[in-house]
Structure 1
Amino acid sequence: MKISLIPIALAAVALLSQGCVSTKKYQSLQTNYDSLQNKQKDLNIRFLNSQQDLASANVRVKSLEEQIAAGRSNLSALQAALDKCLTSSGQGNVNISKLVDEINSSNKYIQQLVNSKNKSDSLNMVLTNNLTRSLSAAESKDVDVQVLKGVVYISLSDNMLYKSGSFEVSDKSAETLSKIAKIITDYKDYDVLIEGNTDNVPISKGAIRNNWDLSALRASSVVQALQNTYRVDPKRLTAGGRGEYNPIASNDSEAGKMKNRRTQIIITPKLDQFMDLIEKAPEKK
């Protein structure tokens, strides 16, 4: 995915060697070259992040597949035991009934795992499509919606969300937040984490000691807006700040810093649903 800058550099050298390039034009070419280098860095970082996300997703899928495979293996063993009982004249009806119950329990658990994964994937896609369709063209420039590793990420730029140089939510963000709040309210089986992120430029302003403070205060402001203005159940909300330590682009350029100054609304299935499934796993007798 790396961008080659060699053709541009050769073109610049060729023009200079002919003695027909003015200083102004040379500086323009140099500026374009530096800009392309910065873009190349950003693209390389995004590529590495995508590779890491893909690797994590593959691990999660492999784990689910291993659980399902283990359940099916257990089912095969139980079925083999049942067949043996049915062909053996010395086995009683009590043992056969017990094996049938265990097979039915294993089948039910496997189906619950499969249904849970399918339901989560389907709801994530519906949620994402509903939100994306509700955003205007202008809003879409400041809002990025993605599904990664079974989790919905809604990334909002700080220019749209907050007043300049502040952690207070701006009036112009009201329409966008109302659409996100409706999605959150409609999907009651999901928990919501509001996560603030900054660039690496140090800040010290009044009660804001550093980027940790700024990111946490901004996340808290969004949580309180969702609760107080849009009536989202506060029991479903969590506010957190990650400061400058969760970048998605290089901080070497202003464009990269703008991408890193963001607030993410992370929508995930409630953990107690998965815990219930684990507790319902059939015990081996």
Structure 2
Amino acid sequence: MRKIGLVTSLLVVLLMSSCGTKKIAELEEKNKKTQEMLDSATVKLNSCLEEKASLTSTNSALKDQNDMLRANNQELINNMGNLTTLTKKGADNLEKSLESLREKDLTIRKLNEAITRRDSVNLALVQSLKGVLGNLDDEDIEISVEKGVVFVSISDKLLFSSGSTRVTAKAKEVLGKVAKVVNNKPDFEFMVEGHTDTDPISTAAVKDNWDLSVLRATSIVRILQDDYGVDPKRMTAAGRSQYIPVADNDTREGKAKNRRTRIVVLPKIDQFYEMIEDGMKDANIN
């Protein structure tokens, strides 16, 4: 009986030992799998942490970039405002400049119109003078226009005897024709200029070429006033002596050309300005 009981106990122990070993093996296998899962999870966790750190860094960089873009955008907005102000000022300045140019252009146009009218009057005057003096020798009288002024140059051989201030009878006929034209042009003033050559002169009545040129001019003016009724207020007598020659004084021909009396016909300055003022009253200007 005791042997049977002992055997039975041994069998129970063996059975229990066998079951325990199997259980342990199962637990170890389960533990191994659990460790593998833990290792895999740890790797994934580390990867996620690294990705998070990268994303955090990227996010920080994007935030800095966004802040910079916001600042640039605000600066652009401010610059646009300044540019708008500058553009408006520029437009205002441009408009003022254009207005000034328009005014200047209009003024120039009116001046040109006044000059054109003056030139037209001068042309009519020249035609009138040539009409009454056209039968004279070209060497004795010359009519020209220079810079808006009409000149009538008459040689001394037609007007005076050598060294004399007395006007010849033929010269009076010529002066009468000139007087007829100028009397019909009351808007003109004129100056009578005496010119000489370089030959010196000294007599009881004439001291030098200055005297001779002035005395010849006054002789012409007196005849125009006394014989032909030209208003003395419109005339000026002037002597230029030998100092404005038109030819060489080394030859007889040149001296003959330099001995001359020149009538300078001038539009009254106030008349010319009135032409301009009348043009400036144009409705287009106002």
TM-score for both structures, normalised by structure 1? 0.59
Give the C-alpha shift of residue 199 in structure 1: 0.1
Matches of 2:227 and 2:130, distance apart in 1: 22
Structure 1 residues 140 and 134 mapped into 2: Cα distance closer, same or farther (>3 Å)?
farther
Matches of 1:126 and 1:77, distance apart in 2: 37
Secondary structure of 1:163's counterpart equals coil
1:243 has 2:265 as partner: no
* Partner residue, 2:54: none
Is the 8 Å Cα contact of residues 114 and 276 (structure 2) preserved in structure 1?
no
Matches of 1:172 and 1:194, distance apart in 2: 18
> Between Structure 1 and Structure 2, how many residues are aligned?
186
Matches of 1:171 and 1:151, distance apart in 2: 28
Structure 1 residues 278 and 165 mapped into 2: Cα distance closer, same or farther (>3 Å)?
same
Question: Sequence identity, in percent?
Answer: 42
Structure 1 residues 277 and 214 mapped into 2: Cα distance closer, same or farther (>3 Å)?
same
Task: Could you tell me which runs of 5 or more consecutive residues in structure 1 were left unpaired when the two chains were aligned.
Answer: 1-72, 81-102
Structure 1 residues 237 and 77 mapped into 2: Cα distance closer, same or farther (>3 Å)?
same
Give the C-alpha shift of residue 195 in structure 1: 0.3
1:156 has 2:178 as partner: no
Which shifted more, 251-260 or 120-129? 120-129
* Partner residue, 1:259: 257
* Partner residue, 1:27: none
Is the 8 Å Cα contact of residues 118 and 272 (structure 2) preserved in structure 1?
no
Task: Report the AA paired with residue 131 of structure 2.
Answer: R
Structure 1 residues 278 and 115 mapped into 2: Cα distance closer, same or farther (>3 Å)?
closer
Q: Choose the corresponding residue for 1:77, options 90, 95, 99.
A: 99
CA RMSD for the aligned pairs? Answer: 2.8
Secondary structure of 1:194's counterpart equals strand
Is the 8 Å Cα contact of residues 139 and 176 (structure 1) preserved in structure 2?
no
* Partner residue, 1:127: 125
- Offset from partner CA, 1:240-263 (integer Å, 9 cap, x none): 000000100000000000000000
Matches of 1:269 and 1:151, distance apart in 2: 8
1:202 has 2:200 as partner: yes
1:141 has 2:139 as partner: yes
Task: Report the AA paired with residue 111 of structure 2.
Answer: L
1:189 has 2:211 as partner: no
- Offset from partner CA, 1:97-117 (integer Å, 9 cap, x none): xxxxxx7x984x555422210
Residue pairs, 1:14-29, within 5 angstroms: none
Give the C-alpha shift of residue 229 in structure 1: 0.6
Secondary structure of 1:188's counterpart equals coil
Runs ≥4 residues deviating over 6 A: 277-282
Structure 1 residues 75 and 117 mapped into 2: Cα distance closer, same or farther (>3 Å)?
farther
Is the 8 Å Cα contact of residues 194 and 217 (structure 2) preserved in structure 1?
yes
Is the 8 Å Cα contact of residues 75 and 106 (structure 1) preserved in structure 2?
no
Is the 8 Å Cα contact of residues 160 and 170 (structure 1) preserved in structure 2?
yes
Matches of 1:117 and 1:231, distance apart in 2: 30
- Offset from partner CA, 1:76-108 (integer Å, 9 cap, x none): 41699xxxxxxxxxxxxxxxxxxxxxx7x984x
Matches of 1:224 and 1:179, distance apart in 2: 15
* Partner residue, 1:174: 172
- Offset from partner CA, 1:8-40 (integer Å, 9 cap, x none): xxxxxxxxxxxxxxxxxxxxxxxxxxxxxxxxx
Give the C-alpha shift of residue 162 in structure 1: 1.5
* Partner residue, 2:51: none
Is the 8 Å Cα contact of residues 133 and 174 (structure 2) preserved in structure 1?
yes
TM-score for both structures, normalised by structure 2? 0.59
Give the C-alpha shift of residue 238 in structure 1: 0.1
Give the C-alpha shift of residue 137 in structure 1: 3.3
Which shifted more, 190-199 or 264-273? 264-273
Give the C-alpha shift of residue 165 in structure 1: 2.7
